[in-house]
Each structure stands twice: as C-alpha cells, then as structure tokens.
Structure 1
Amino acid sequence: MNSPLRIADFAGKRVAIWGFGREGKAAIAAIRSRLPALPLTLFCSVGEADAARTFDATLTVRGEEPDAVAFAPFDVVVKSPGISAYKPALLAARESGIHVTSGTALWFAENPHARVVAVTGTKGKSTTTALLAHLARSLGVRTALAGNIGMPLLELLGQSAELWAIELSSFQTGEAGPVELGVITSLYEEHLDWHGSRERYIEDKLKLASVSTQLLVNATQASLLERTAGHPHRIVFGSEDGWHVAGGFIGRGTRPVFDASALRAPGEHNALNACAALAALEAMGFDAVKAAPALATFRPLPHRLQPLGEHDGFHWINDSISTTPQATLAALGSLVGQAVTVIVGGHDRGLDWHDFVAAMKAHAPHAIVAQGSNGPRIARALREAGVTVEETTDLATAVARARALTPPGGTILLSPGAPSFDQFHDYADRGQRFAEMAGFDAHDIVGIEGLGIA
C-alpha cells in the first residue's frame, strides 16, 4: 500500500471501486457520505451490474474485470478484500503511480487514535475477536466488533468506541495500522490462490506484527514464536506463566480462573481462543479475571463447530467455516470418544493434506466421507495410507452416505477443510444447506451476534 489516504483526499481525483460485495457497497456509501458529488466508477461482474446501478444511480458501472488499460485513467482504486493484491492489473496500477487502497486502509486512516485490537490467524480469529468484544462489554466497555467477521469497518465510519475488536483476514493485514495490539491466533498455509504461495501467505499475515505496538501470539506454535521473536513488545498466550489451559481450567499462571467445561464452544482449541481474548483484554489494561465468568454466556459463532441438535437419531454439527485440514483436525479433536462421521472436501486450492492423512492413519473417526472438487485427491491420499474412506461427488450425496454409515446416536460432522466455492456461494451458504439436508430449519442459524458497537 502507498501512504495512507483519507476519503477527503479523493476530492478532485478520478476514483474507481473494484468489487460489489458488502465491502464494495460500504466503500461507495462511505465516499458518498463525505464527497456526494464525486464521480465514481465501479468494476464488478456482469451479473452484479444491474444491482449496482440500482444501489447508486450516479455510478458509472462497468461489468468487467479491469486490466491495466482500464485502470489507466484513474488516480485511485479502492479494492475489496477478496480481490488479490497480486493481480496483474493492481500491480501495474501501483507501478504507474495509481494509489491502490481499500475499505480497511481507509478506516484506519480516518481513525488514527482508535484503541484497536486487530486479530488474525489461520483459525480461531473470528471466535477470538467475538470473545474479546463479549468480555469487554461484560465490563461495561463500549466496544466495536467489526472487520472480516461480518461487518466492514467503513459501515461504522464516524462512530466512536472505547475499544475496537477487529478481525482481519490475510487479505487485510497489509492494509491495517497502526494498532495498539495485534493478535495472531495461529498460522498454517491457507488462501494460496490469493497470495500465490505459502511463504507469501505467511509474510502477509505477519504484516500485522509490523504495525502493532504490542503483539500477542500463540505460545503453542513454535514456528509462530520463531517468526515473531524479533518484535520488541511481544506477549504470549497458551504458556504456563500467562493465560493457558491446564487441568480442565482456563487459568492465569498458577491460578485456575474458569472451568473450561462451562464454555458453550466445545474443544480445547476454543478454550485456547478464550485465553487469547483474555490475554488481549489484559494487555489493553482491563481486568480480565473479572471478565472471565462472562465466558459462560458466550454463544458459539454460526458455522464454527455449531451443534445443530439431534434429528433422525443422529447428532449434527455444522463446522462449515473449516477451510483448512488443520481446522478439521481441531474439530475432530473436540469430539474424541464419540462415533463421528466426518464430511470433508470442497474447492481445491492445492493445500497439503499430509498432516490430516497422518492423523487419520493413527486415529480415524468412525467414518470419513470425501466430496467436492478435491474429494478425489483427499480420498486417494487416505487410501494410499490404508485409511478407509467413502467418496462422493457433492455434499448432498455425502450427507446421504453419512446417514447410512453412522450408527444410531452417532454424530455427523461437516468440517470440510476446504472452501465452498465449488458448490456454494460461501461457507454460510454451505452450512445452511447442510442444516437443511440434516432436517433443520436453516433460518434458525442466525448471523453473528454483537456486530457493531455496544
């Protein structure tokens, strides 16, 4: 990114917006609120063009993916997070002197004095961010919950809060800052299609460290500790001298503070997420021990190890947010001792499933059903390791097969370890469809509670 640019700096400039999802709409609305007469050009898909013209009749709408020639007339491009910063058109735009920014970068430029905790990580970031907001609010702190978790920051432009709990994806970490506290919950390979390589993904995630006055990281990940060792104000969670999980309790040093079994979000990884939130709260100067009892009233986020209930004699769990093999392993780890059929597979981004296969070889669940575009690759790797696996083409067939394989009273777990784009609009769409296939009302899967400022 270039030097920070505020919306007021757009005056007199030729501005293009790329992307018409929720982030793109938020950017258009924010710019219009400050510079209502500024001409704006929107690049979006052909299918979105009519909706874009309805959204803002003054937009110049181009239903196409822009290239360097299309960007040449502009001074500024505001891109949505899902559009890779490494697309040739954006690289060429920067090279030619065009200022490329984003909704995240604009919000930070507009709010340089906000008290921000920015949370990222391959898994655990959404739950940790929501837990932090929940705990802070239990202390009476006016707290904002926004970012990648489901509310673009620009939707809160002009509003104030004592504490900002902001989730950042790997697409956004290079657009943030400065922040008072950065949190990295975990670090595995992910989103290789956006970043281009595993190393670049890690580098992009760690950009958060460079803009964080304090940095909180997961002490249980040796590679993360090694990569962040040079930060001058690094603190950790998950170690015995800080917030950690031991003996079934979430504790601070030698002091047990909260019975982890009282968490409604299951699994030790969620207890560790709670440790991260408590440590973040403490690092920001609040009484984390006083806030800890509020962990008992935190509702698990939808599509994240979400128990749907019992239907047709089976227990159903929706973990559609699982987009890495490590996330699937964590889900299975929270269900040890149960007869579990796990459904894996989805959009293939070339992630390495070696660790998953090795874990399944050592201790497989009751049954594994592989589906989706990378289902054949996962199934082949499992069979080569001597692990029994069923292979189907799509989620509907996988659910039907899971019903046949699972014993009465057993658990059917959707934890794909892969994105949803081969069959669905997004992970939420996949999770809702899974709920319907299981026999539940998908409308009961509510969105994330607490978004915004409270």
Structure 2
Amino acid sequence: MRISQLEAIAAQGGGIALWGWGREGRAAYEAIRSRLPALPLTLLCSADEADQARALGDAHLRVETQVTATVLSAYAVIVKSPGISPYGDEAVAAAAQGTRFIGGTALWFAERADPGGTARNTICVTGTKGKSTTTALLAHLLRAGGHVTGLVGNIGLPLLEVLDPPVEPEFWAVELSSYQTGDVAASGTQPHVAVALNIFPEHLDWHGSHERYIADKLTLLTQAAPHVAVLNAADPILSTLSLPGSSVHWFNEPRGWHLREDALYRGDAFVMDTLGLPLPGRHNRSNLCAVLAALEALGLDAVALAPHAASFRPLPNRLQTLGTRDGVTFVNDSISTTPYASLAALDVFRGRRVALLVGGHDRGLPWEEFAAEMRAWAPAAIITMGQNGPRIHDLLRPVAGEAGFSLLAARDLAEAMALGIAALDGEGVLLLSPGAPSFGAYRDYVARGRDFARLAGYDPDSISAIPGLGIA
C-alpha cells in the first residue's frame, strides 16, 4: 500500500489511524503528512504521549488514548509501530472486522517499488542474533567499494525517516526484526536480496509462540519472494527451506563462503585470516560470510572487498569492550536478549576468567540448554538479576554445585556488577550478556548498556553512537 492510497480510502469513508508514538510512530506521521498534509488522522497513544502530539497543532489530527477492539475496528487502516503485536486480542478482533494493520516498513517498501514491483538494490538482513552487525558490515563494505549506501531500519533509523533522501543511495542495507519482516510481504514489493542468518526462540511475548515466531521471521523469504535469498546452510531451520521463487545463495557451506577454523574461504580458495578482524566471536566472523555472499548476489567482487572488514568499527552494546579498570575488563553485550546470545558471548572469552551477568524481563524463553552447557564449560561466576533471575538461578543451582562456579543473585544491575567484580578478585572479564530484554528496569537495551557503562566509570555518550548510520 502506497501512502497516496490512504487518501482514497479516507475519501470512501474509511478512517486512518496511527498506533504508537515512539520514533517509528512519529516517522510514520511525518511521512504521511509530507505527502498528505490534510488527511484526517487519528493517533492512538498513551496519555503521556497525547500531550506531545496535541502540541503539534495539527488541525487534522485527533488523539485517542483508549485502545479497545471497538476503537480499533472503527478504522479501515491502522499504521502501527513495530513493537505493537498484531496478535493481541483487541487487534485480532479488529482484524476480523476488516481493519487492516500495516507498519511503516510496508509503506516504505511500497513507495520504493519499481514498475515491476521490486525495490531495487535493497538488501534486507534478518536473523535472531547478529543482524545489526551484519547489516552494518554490509554497508561498510559497500561504501569501501565506493557505493553510496543507506544503513537503515531496525538498527536505529526508521525507514520512513529516509522516505525522501537528499541523496539517493546506490544500495540500501536494511535491518529487519521479526516485527517487520511480514511488512515487506504486505507491501507487495520484492526485495532485491534477503539475508537470513539464523533462527532461535525469541520474542515469544509478541509472536505468541515459537512456531509463529519462525513463520513470521521466514515471511521475508517465503512470502516477500526476494530475487535472491542468502541463507545459512549451518542453521537447521534455514537449511531445509525450499524457495522456488528465489535464487538461493548459501553461506557456511564448502562450495560458498565459509570458515575453516579462523581462515576465510570462497569454495576451495583461501581468502584471508579472520582472527584479527574487529568482529568478536566466531559467530560474527561467520556472518562475514553472509555479507560476502550478499555482495556476490549484487554482482560485486566480494573477494576484493573482504579485506576492508579490517577497518569496520564494531557496534555499541554488542560484545563491546569498554576498557579495563583494576584488572577487570568491562564488556557490554546488552543487546543479548536470548540464552543463545549469552552462550555465544561466553564462547568469545573461553579460557579467561569471566563473571557473567544474566537476567532481565521474563518472556518465557527456556534456559535449560544454557544450564546444560554450563556443566561442560562455565565462567568463574554467574550473577542472576531481573524478573527472570530467580528462575535462572533455580535452574543453575544444581549445576553450579557440579561444575564448581560461583552462583550469586542480585536485585539490580548495580548490585550484580558489584558481586561480579568481587568474584573476579582483580582479574578477568565482567560480561553483561543478560540473555533477556531490559523492559521493566530500563526502556531498552541501549539504556541498559549506557547504565552499565556509567556504573563501570565510562561515559555513556561515548559508547552509544552507531557508526555509519544513515546515508553515506
């Protein structure tokens, strides 16, 4: 659906609403107003946000703070923010009455469609973990090759904020969360390339079940029908996909881009060593293979571009080393929101003394596999915290006795850090890789990472900027 179609729907008596007034919601408002300044709109938001919206002085904007199935059903189209699930009871009831829910991602892709229905030179990246670093690395290598590239999407720049860019990029590197992948299909527009890294249980509170999470994640591939799909052959779910409408390029398999120990290969040809790259963890170096496969799918010389990975600047909150004080190295992996991410973070520091901080908002993800892994290899100490901290602690208690690591419980991040520093006794890594969202204690993972930096004695502003965001 293009933005211009909203005017026709309104002219036929169908109401148009925005649901959510965060950054994505404000971007949707500005994009619609840039094309349709007099379109009657209703904003559905919280009472606190309502005052901000009314202060705009928009005579064609009505603000509503009560969101019920009846309220939602009054609108033909609702442009919702990504964090709002379409699977809530009210939204499901409204959809059954004919209300159509779309997101800003759908509007952006529809606006970029060429006459054949393709968003040319868009490279969409998704996956449970690693998608932000992969998208940023993709943009970095494209720019190193002299191509003006937009680094946008879930990584920190809503697509609708670059609806009408001052400079048209040659390529768009677009990170998509599982909240947004379905919007690409809903737009009716084919992405040029879609990259899928991996799939683990995540965001079950939004999707409702693991099965629906997988289905929603795969929508980018199975329904949006990209011209080229770049898939991880080592992922048990992705490796079984059949995509007859797409040309499939595999990575992490011997005929394509893959790693042998720390060496990067293209088929049987050695390309370079990856151990010294600024990509902490084997999983991040493995995702370099995804980037290079995507570059080949665009018709570019990936072998020539690969060495430019050495000048990549790592992203904040992703295995980010802040520094060392009194023998303790502080590592901020606040973006870690699954137990699998915590395991990957621990693997980076295997062989070193580590105090791991885990726990946060409880979305019901299973921690049994994490606990089982701790029997074979565990850090010096694990400190649990947050809403699901007690559940994780109970799972780990018998394991700690067998494996011989210290298991401690904290009320909050500050106490967890103090316990971790004491457990390290002047030597090792204090690793924040919580394996859970931050909601309740913090607004988001960025705020949690900033507080970790502050408590460790570092300037939060200096560690928070995302290098290369936007068009360059």
The TM-score with structure 1 as length reference comes to: 0.96
Task: Show the counterpart of 1:414.
Answer: 432
> Which letter maps to 1:347?
H
384-393 vs 237-246, which moves further:
384-393
Could you tell me how far apart the structure 1 residues matched to 2:245 and 2:232 are? 14
Q: Within 5 A, what are the aligned runs for 1:126-275? A: 126-159=132-165, 160-176=168-184, 177-210=189-222, 211=224, 212-228=226-242, 232-275=246-289
2:383 to 360, 365, 369: 369
Residue correspondence of structure 1 range 373-412 to structure 2 within 5 A: 373-385=387-399, 386=401, 387=403, 388=405, 389-412=407-430
Give the one of 444, 454, 457 matched to 1:436.
454
Which deviations, in whole Å up to 9, do the C-alpha atoms of 1:242-268 show, x marking residues without a partner? 111113222212222232122112111
Q: Does structure 2 retain, via aligned residues, the 8 Å contact 1:20–1:48?
A: yes
Code of the residue aligned with 2:148 in structure 1: it is R
Q: Could you tell me the percent identity over the aligned residues?
A: 51
**How many residue pairs align between the two structures?**
449
Partner SS, residue 393 of structure 2:
helix
SS of structure 1 residue aligned to 2:21 = coil
Aligned twin of 1:83: 84
Q: Is 1:6 the equivalent of 2:8? A: no
Partners of 1:446 and 1:392 in 2: CA distance: 25
Per-residue Cα deviation, 1:268-289 (whole angstroms, up to 9, x for no partner)? 1110111111111111111111
Distance 1:126 1:228, change over 3 A: farther
Alpha-carbon distance between aligned partners in 2 of 1:304 and 1:320, rounded to the nearest angstrom: 7
Matches within 5 A, 1:294-309: 294-309=308-323
How far apart are 1:55 and its partner, in Å? 4.3
* SS of corresponding position for 1:240: coil
Match of 1:360 in 2: 374
Residue in structure 2 matched with residue 341 of structure 1 by the alignment = 355
The 2-side partners of 1:292 and 1:139 are apart by: 10
Any idea what SS the aligned residue of 2:55 has?
Answer: helix
Deviation at 1:40, TM superposition (A): 1.3
Corresponding letter in the other structure for 1:336: R
**TM-superposed deviation, 1:7:** 0.6
Cα deviation 1:121-172 (Å, max 9, x = unaligned): 0001111111111101111112111111111111111233221111110011
1:106 corresponds in structure 2 to 107
Distance 1:52 1:400 in 2: 42
Give the TM-score normalised by structure 2.
Answer: 0.92
Query: How far does residue 231 in structure 1 lie from its aligned partner after superposition?
Result: 6.4
- Report the alpha carbon displacement of residue 232 of structure 1 after superposing the two structures with TM: 4.9
Q: CA deviation at 1:29?
A: 0.1
Cα distance in structure 1, aligned partners of 2:245 and 2:197: 16
Query: Is the contact between residue 385 and residue 411 of structure 2 (CA under 8 Å) also seen in structure 1?
Result: yes
Give how far 1:224 is off: 2.2
* Alpha carbons 2:86, 2:101 under 8 Å: kept: no
Give the Cα–Cα distance (whole angstroms) in 1 for the partners of residues 245 and 289 of structure 2: 21
Aligned-pair CA distance for 1:52: 2.0
Query: Is this contact kept in 2: 1:86–1:194, CA < 8 A?
Result: yes
- Cα deviation per residue 1:5-44 (whole Å; 9 max; x = unaligned)? 1111111512100001111000000000000111211111
Counterpart for residue 18 of structure 2: 17
Quick one: distance in 2 between partners of 1:27 and 1:297?
A: 35
**Mind listing any 5+ residue stretches in structure 1 that lack a counterpart?**
none
- Does the CA contact (< 8 Å) of 1:18 and 1:77 recur in 2? yes
| Alpha-carbon spacing, 1:231–1:305, altered in 2? closer, same or farther (3 Å) | farther
Letter matched to residue 337 of structure 1:
G
Distance 2:105 2:95 in 1: 18
